[in-house]
Chains A and B, each alone.
Chain A
Amino acid sequence: MRGKVAIIGYAQSYHQGNMPMTREDMVFEVAKGAAEMAGITREDLDTVINASNDYLDGRTISELFLVMPMGAYLRDYTKVEMDGAFAMFYGMLKILSGTHDIALIVANTQGSTFNPHQISTYMLDPTFDRQIGVLNDVSMAAIQARMYMNKYSVSEDEVAIVSLKNLGNAAKNPHAHRRMPGITIEEVLNSKLLYDPIRELTMSPISDGACAVVLATEKKARELSDNPVWIEGVGSSQDSYIRNRNLYHLEGLEKAAKRAYQMADIKNQFAELDLAEVSERYAYEELMIYEALGFCEKGKGGTLIDSCATFKDGQLPVNPSGGALSADPITATGLIRVVEAVMQIRGEAGACQLPGVWRALAHGQTGVCAQSNIVYILGGEY
């Protein structure tokens, strides 16, 4: 890379099902919160990038009325209409170009505005898939889950353990929407069946939430922060549409991860990563994510979760914050994973804090069945 980029400030909302706040106020709070932590004023913002979606917000040009609360008045400004983790990538590109020193990234969605699962039908091929009338992101997830579980003999129990782990972890996360301390596997397996085998507790909740980070050049980071978190590697890839790719594996994520690992010079995930925050919209997805990230061989995701290696006290904890299963404000979800990883590295993760975290992986996704993915390797100061 042509230089180093650091995260020097962050903020996230208290994600919930129906926030008693307009999206304007929600965005204002996280944007200001991140800037305050970074120790910067509005005038320091060289560029502001929003991640929100017109369809989800019910407003064409969804960011139009968010310019002012985001602090973007008379500033360089744009919107990435994908998961917020991709917006952060654009911020990184602008900083590496040498034209901007400080970037504010703000991601927001209020799922209570419109059911995002219904919006997912708009993502489908309009000439054929949509006409069938049965596909949406949940039924597609069910199809993929069934394919994966069948091919690799993964049981529903193994899938349910992911929910057990993540919703249990979330119990200690004050920002999480769905916190279920003492959750049992029976509760997960008996939760409302949506599209077999997807159940309410093996699917992310519909959340209102927002999140913001401040990026800076190395020079500015050292001036402003005692505790910068460096972006050591990043990789992203868009895969083919659902019908044109192999659904047994998350190949796009695998490509993205390889690019990130190469950039950060990671050769042994278990040895070199202290934790991973991934965007698992569905419990089965986390097992597939393990495989794509190279945490285990193809088809061995179930075995990995059984080994407890990805639990909080395991060798490579995944989603100590609770992950997307605990809060999924769609366009903010991936950026929240970045923030949770940053909090762990800086030692600011409160009750969720794990010991000795220096390097973490964060993942964001966009599109049905995780079609487009981005992976970051984040590292603290020595």
Chain B
Amino acid sequence: MWRNVAVIGVGQTKHGIRREVNVAEMIGEAAWKAIEDAELAPEEIDAIAIGNMQGFGGICQAELWSGDWFGAPGKPLLRIATGGTTGGSVAQCAIYQVASGMFDVALAIGFEKHSDSKEPGATMGLAHVGLANFFHLLACGLDFKTSLAWGGGVGAAAGVSGYQAANYMHRSGCKIEHLDMVAAKSRSNAAKNEYAHLQWPNCTVDYIANHPRFGEIVAYPLRLGHICPASDGASAIIVAAEERARSAERPAWVRGLASCADEENQMAENAQGVAVTDSSEQIQCKIAATKAYSMAGIKNPREEIDVAEIYQPFPHQELIYSERLQLFDDGKAWIPLEEGETQIDGRLPIDPSGGVLSTNAIGSSAMQRVAECALQIMGKAGQHQVPKDVKNAVAHGWGGSTNFTVVTILGDTPRLRR
């Protein structure tokens, strides 16, 4: 039997290049902000879930060293790491910690400090995902040009996403102009979000497409302006069981959650083959979304969901995933985009926070989607609060080689009515 759980506090650090804090201080910042927002005493936290992609910052299990900064000593702690979905998986871990009945209040933190590493950022640094495979290919006599092809010209996430974009554009009405639109919307929205990284107020399609630097096509069809930044940042949420949550002013109740893993995209261990020919199909997102909506009792997402925070480090992914989250028809998400429906003041705002396109501290990114949905329901999103009543919100994340998905649905009423 489900135990009602709600988000009662959110904390975020400013995301960007943070050279004035070290990673422990940064994590502490987000955790303490969440604790204050939830009006808790730190002793009330029963359990902690935390995660990041440890390869980027060069610290193995950073929460062991930095635990003192966020009140970990003496508490049960789980470290979760699942690629891009990490933040979302961490949030779900905290939710299960409370839903299980073993704990009443849990703290979830997602973080990343890309600037601590000399690697050129999240997108290209992700080459380490397949590095072992590359070594194998090279050992088998792979030539240089083809090795570039394996990386899509720019390296793992961007490369895989470039191929995915071409697939998507082929079978839908999406054109490069639509990618420009999503990017412009994201960066403009980010300017209203004090914690976001790339804040370009009133950013236009023209700016993205014709800028001498950002307009350049890096790997068809992606421009430089379509690529997410590599940010430093941490975000945290506090989840609590019903009895405790009721004392919060307007808790964001967990209505449904799910995760799902598909077969790897492009290649398997040691570059073996995979039976996936269209990486834009994203069948596992369909499955996770269906499960989550069913749990939430949502039968008609496009009418019942008021705001969506979609994990889109590349613009075409906002369109693909909004379709897979059943918010728009397959292949047609570009139409509501053109018509302004997904703008911050539109019928179904997508990524009013600016999304991952504007801010990408990998371990934090999928957590921020959940945190932003909670803020919208709580009415605490400040300048980027959507000007409508928010009853239900969906937070999404993708990870791996676009084969992992997490979906979390928050609402203004608990899942189980008494």
Contact = CB atoms under 8 A, between A and B. Distances in A.
Interface of B is mostly: mixed
A58 B129 CA distance: 9
Interface in A73-87: 73-82, 86
A63 B268 CA distance: 11
A119 B58 CA distance: 11
A237 B67 CA distance: 12
A59 interface: yes
A41 interface: no
Interface residues of A, number: 67
Given A74-B287, A75-B261, A97-B96, A238 B132 contact: no
A89 B97 CA distance: 10
A73 B400 CA distance: 13
Contacts of A61: 53, 81-83, 129, 399-400
A81 B81 contact: yes
Given A237-B74, A244-B68, A82 B61 contact: yes
Contacts of B260: 74-77
Interface stretch (A122-130, A288-296, A344-352): A122-130
Contacts of B59: 122-123, 126
A93 B100 contact: yes
Chain B interface: which size bin?
Answer: 35 or more
Contacts of B172: none
A126 B126 CA distance: 22
A22 interface: yes
Contacts of A4: none
B205 interface: no
Contacts of A65: 133, 264, 268-269
A80 B73 contact: no
A240 B67 contact: yes
B2 A98 contact: yes
B1 A98 contact: yes
B53 A54 contact: yes
B68 to A, nearest CB: 6
Contact of B60 (A78, A119, A235, A237): A119
B258 interface: yes
A22 B72 CA distance: 36
A323 to B, nearest CB: 23
Interface string B1-16: 1110000000000000
B202 interface: no
A238 B58 contact: no
Interface in B385-412: 399-401, 403-404
Nearest to B53: A60
Given A59-B129, A237-B75, A77 B259 contact: yes
Given A22-B269, A64-B400, A77-B259, A127 B60 contact: no
A67 interface: yes
* Residue of A75, A122, A259, A368 contacting most chain B CB atoms (<10 Å): A122
19 contacts: A2-B101, A59-B131, A60-B128, A61-B81, A64-B264, A64-B401, A65-B269, A76-B259, A81-B54, A81-B80, A81-B81, A86-B78, A89-B78, A90-B78, A90-B80, A120-B60, A123-B61, A126-B116, A236-B76
Given A78-B89, A79-B81, A81-B54, 18 more contacts: A23-B269, A53-B61, A54-B53, A58-B131, A59-B131, A61-B82, A64-B129, A64-B400, A76-B291, A93-B97, A97-B96, A97-B101, A99-B257, A122-B60, A123-B60, A123-B65, A238-B48, A240-B67
Interface of B: 1-3, 22, 48, 51, 53-55, 58-61, 63-68, 72-83, 89, 92-93, 96-97, 99-102, 116, 126, 128-129, 131-133, 257-264, 268-270, 283-284, 287, 291, 295, 399-401, 403-404
Interface of A: 1-2, 22-24, 48, 53-55, 58-61, 63-68, 72-82, 86, 89-90, 92-94, 96-99, 119-120, 122-127, 235-241, 244-245, 252, 255-256, 259, 366-368, 371-372, 374
